[in-house]
Amino acid sequence: MTAVVAIDKLVKVFGGLRAVDGVSLQVAPGERHALIGPNGAGKTTLFHCVTGTLQASSGTVKLYGDDVTHLPEYRRTKLGMGRTFQITNVFTDLSVAENLVLAAVGTDRRKWIWNRPLESFPDVRRQVLAGLEAVGLADRADDPVKLLSYGERRQLELALALNTQPKVLFLDEPCAGLALSERQRIFKMVRALPREITMVMIEHDMDVALGLADRVTVMHRGRVMAEGTPAEVKSNPEVRDVYFGHA
């Protein structure tokens, strides 16, 4: 079976720093794949190279067998890649619904006309309200994003990523900076995503990462140091030493 995402010998160099150093991994259809490791391991840089935010220095990225290594970010989004960011990336001066409208039409041939109300685009409105309902923000649709809590902004960013109808979803620390109750809420939302959406996730919270993942890749100093099931990774003494800063 063709991997949804196939990364082969990917390298990203910043001056003399090899932030990503020959990483290879594959993600199967419907898989929940967690990427863990200490700060500075190269996880987010790898995400940037895979999704097109950054261009890789060398190596290849394939999506359903097609080479997308040199495609710009918007082309990869149109082909089915969706993502969230380590730091929330939303338009704070727009309403919650308006943020989702931009996501809905961003991969569509339709163009948004700013002087027409959302009600004049009933199909877009339905999509937006369904997206907000899925992440528990339906009652905040008309509120400015700047009034949302940090946790609610995380929920909105998940809705934004899902509204592009991704085939594979990259989540960069979706629970970062959240209180326990908010982490639990995001955990339940991510776990409830349909298996039609393949998911790759960076997460520092080991309980979240290992609780959601089918397979886990551990990075250290830009390289893959281990890969396996959550149980295999959890019981690996070298992984524990590196992850908790003893190596």
Cβ(23)–Cβ(8) under 8 Å? no
Task: Please report the pLDDT score of residue 33 as a whole number.
Answer: 97
The number of beta carbons lying within 10 Å of the beta carbon of residue 12 is 22
The pTM of the full predicted model, rounded to 2 decimals, is 0.85
The sign of the CA dihedral 52, 66, 164, 198 is negative
Cβ(150)–Cβ(173) under 8 Å? no
104-118, 163-177, 220-234: which is most confident: 220-234
**Comparing 179 with 221, which gets the higher pLDDT?**
221
pLDDT at 247 over 50: no
Amino acid in the structure at residue 72: P
Domain boundaries, the chain: 1-80+166-247, 90-165
- Residue-wise pLDDT tens digits, 128-157: 888 888 888 889 988 999 999 888 888 898
Beta strands in 47-191 (DSSP E): 58-63, 66-67, 81-83, 168-172
- Residue-wise pLDDT tens digits, 190-211: 888 899 999 999 988 788 888 8
Residue with tokens 């199909």: 123
Does domain 1-80+166-247 fall under CATH 1.10.1060.10? My reply is no
Mean pLDDT for all residues in the chain: 87
